[in-house]
Structure 1
């Protein structure tokens, strides 16, 4: 991109009112998805907002204020958190999240010492693509239940709310332009909320009772629970890092193209991965969902051509502030389940489709038996939620699929034609 095409570069300072408006723009872009994750796993959305803001500030600091990325709640950890909470409580889920962040740090150190090419070999599209598909399709049942069930009974009224929300989200995504095209989830939630208000299924009593300034429901180690590391938690949560690190690398490559810098080289992939890991550990200590860099905010950068890290910093500060406003937290809690269900139907489908897109973009040959076998095994094991039990240790679902996918990719031989194709591409 030409220098004259940039409105504000990475280290430029905007005017105060412009700064505030641009920061709110990034806040809106991440808001819908960031509060959806805690809604699904039954964590406090206010904590998710605060941890996303603090995580983003930590990321900016670690990357030397060179990478204008915003971090929000990660969808990849939804199923593991739900399973961990059901089996061992919220403390176990937070310990698992913290360990996942710690693995980011270990990977960052390895990349710093040895370079980044090895990680590309371990996480090729033939492994990561199908695992991402598993993440989306594995959550399909959750989305449909949220959209159709009132308690344990089918509700046509609830389903109508979900459909209205879904339709508004789809229409916003297809027909709206500019910034509004980047926030279809937020617009869908707003439209579904208004429809829910019109049919009388929203209770505002919590909003009226809530204080303006209020401490969220933090879940802090040694205060709310005693941290315990078990093999079950390690095998349930840590393998998800396989997907999230790959997602992180993809975002850094896209962000580099948008901003016109090579972030893999400077400040370095090791720094950005470490920043992502520290953000996830901060979230785990506070009781929020793990964090990841957000494509929605990269989209905002591309449209506005405003790359200032100060704007991202402003969005992070606003998110932290909103988390301590009790009325905002109470208002979020009034969003009906079918509204989130309607949005989830599209979002989880998009997650699955993005895995397929990764495979297509990388021209993965599904006529090749090796690729076909790896993909097929990952999909069936992941979606079928297969479990490997060794003593008291369980490795199941997406985690098991990811591990087996990596092993198959490293073990199965690459035929001569594929090797020649890779050499020609290189």
Structure 2
């Protein structure tokens, strides 16, 4: 089933010479860099923590999967809206513990899969549920991207600025051109190139403040959170309940990525080392990331694209990229430079990225041939979209426990329940 017709240049356990290893690792780092940095930038979490979380998380993943799966882990987009909302209404310690719980949930699912198999998860999370939820992720973030591209204060939506719009459009246009008209590595890192060109245009328009870069040290301790020093870990069951449903979406995304890697590399990693190990590695990576204040981790489609085009499957290249990511977090001027990127630059590239997320959910419905003429499918899809995009929420208490389930989490939960309880065939209306 997984017979790859391409001959790898470097197979999974082959190690390139040091110079080649360094260059190839940088290539993987660049492929994930733009998107991974964007998540902490949008949520307000430290960029350096995200780099360390990504690097250490990938090394943990390599260890848990016995060095058999060439996958890189980066910041997950699925949690952006929830993290932004949670940081506004909850203490930092509560938010990070809730994110830690999402990683722990991965571990629980991994253990269940190890003992009873994987088929049950496909019944709980069929494409008719996952597709619309992925669409909600992208469409729910749309206002964030548009506001960043238009306003000087994107949170308050004040200070409409035509210069911001021009810079955002330059960034977006550059990213589109690199994605459509170029080939090779340029086509693999359009987000990074778009950010660079957008940043240069922002300098020309005079909206970049270099003072943080000038004042920063070349080598500095990264900005990471330390439990009981930077924050007090606090268990808030309501917040955990709000975040856990998102994990079902990222687990589904993880499984999808794993299927693609199986095809690219030509091996069935579901069997060896096993999907349970892959999910366990992802869960442990997310748990570590949350402890230091980084976003949850997930496998990255950009890096799978690098594998497919270069035919370089070496786990040493993946590990090298992880070590480089960790190293960059200790370069003070580099992390300061990231902080000077104006919001319209990130807004411009986010317009495309968030749109792609929404479109990928639609693509899943098309690829899986979900028939929306079937009333059951139509009802599940419709309810998920309206609850998610409409930001519906449930706010209630059970004794002393206060629960708040909102937006995508509520949409995902309702979608899962509807899929489980609605009959497979919904009868025609009596008047038809």
Shorter chain as normaliser: what TM range? Answer: over 0.9
1:144 maps to which residue? Answer: 146
Q: 1:165 aligns with which of 164, 167, 171?
A: 171
Q: 2:92 aligns with which of 90, 94, 100?
A: 90
Structure 1 position 325 matched with structure 2 position 327: no
1:180 maps to which residue? Answer: 186
- Equivalent pairs counted in the alignment come to 417
1:17 maps to which residue? Answer: 19
1:306 maps to which residue? Answer: 312
1:358 maps to which residue? Answer: 364
TM-score by length of 2: 0.95
Report the Cα offset of residue 212 of structure 1.
Answer: 1.1
Cα distance in 2 for residues equivalent to 1:3 and 1:407: 41
1:423 maps to which residue? Answer: none
1:112 maps to which residue? Answer: 114
2:58 maps to which residue? Answer: 56
Structure 1 position 205 matched with structure 2 position 211: yes
Matches within 5 A, 1:235-384: 235-384=241-390
1:395 maps to which residue? Answer: 405
> What SS does structure 2 have at the residue aligned with 1:394?
strand
Change in Cα spacing, 1:192 to 1:260, as seen in structure 2 (3 Å) is same
Report the Cα offset of residue 2 of structure 1.
Answer: 5.6
> What SS does structure 2 have at the residue aligned with 1:139?
helix
Q: CA contact under 8 A between 1:136 and 1:351: conserved in structure 2?
A: yes
1:221 maps to which residue? Answer: 227
Q: CA contact under 8 A between 2:376 and 2:426: conserved in structure 1?
A: no
Q: CA contact under 8 A between 1:204 and 1:334: conserved in structure 2?
A: yes
Structure 1 position 65 matched with structure 2 position 67: yes
Report the Cα offset of residue 96 of structure 1.
Answer: 1.1
Report the Cα offset of residue 195 of structure 1.
Answer: 0.6
Cα distance in 1 for residues equivalent to 2:173 and 2:143: 19
> What SS does structure 1 have at the residue aligned with 2:404?
strand
For residues 282-315 of structure 1, give each alpha carbon's deviation from its aligned partner in whole angstroms, at most 9, with x where no partner exists.
1001111110000000000000000000000000
1:76 maps to which residue? Answer: 78
Cα distance in 2 for residues equivalent to 1:2 and 1:262: 11
Q: CA contact under 8 A between 1:40 and 1:78: conserved in structure 2?
A: yes
Q: Which runs of 5+ in 2 are unaligned?
A: 428-432
C-alpha RMSD of the superposition: 1.2
Q: CA contact under 8 A between 1:163 and 1:342: conserved in structure 2?
A: yes
For residues 176-227 of structure 1, give each alpha carbon's deviation from its aligned partner in whole angstroms, at most 9, with x where no partner exists.
1011111110011011011111111111111111111111221122121211
For residues 51-72 of structure 1, give each alpha carbon's deviation from its aligned partner in whole angstroms, at most 9, with x where no partner exists.
1000000000000000000000
> What SS does structure 2 have at the residue aligned with 1:67?
coil
Cα distance in 1 for residues equivalent to 2:415 and 2:253: 16
Report the Cα offset of residue 89 of structure 1.
Answer: 2.6
Q: Which runs of 5+ in 1 are unaligned?
A: 418-426
Cα distance in 1 for residues equivalent to 2:289 and 2:333: 22
For residues 236-269 of structure 1, give each alpha carbon's deviation from its aligned partner in whole angstroms, at most 9, with x where no partner exists.
2111101000000000000010000101111101
Structure 1 position 405 matched with structure 2 position 407: no
1:195 maps to which residue? Answer: 201
For residues 33-85 of structure 1, give each alpha carbon's deviation from its aligned partner in whole angstroms, at most 9, with x where no partner exists.
00000000011111101110000000000000000000000000001111111
Cα distance in 1 for residues equivalent to 2:15 and 2:82: 41
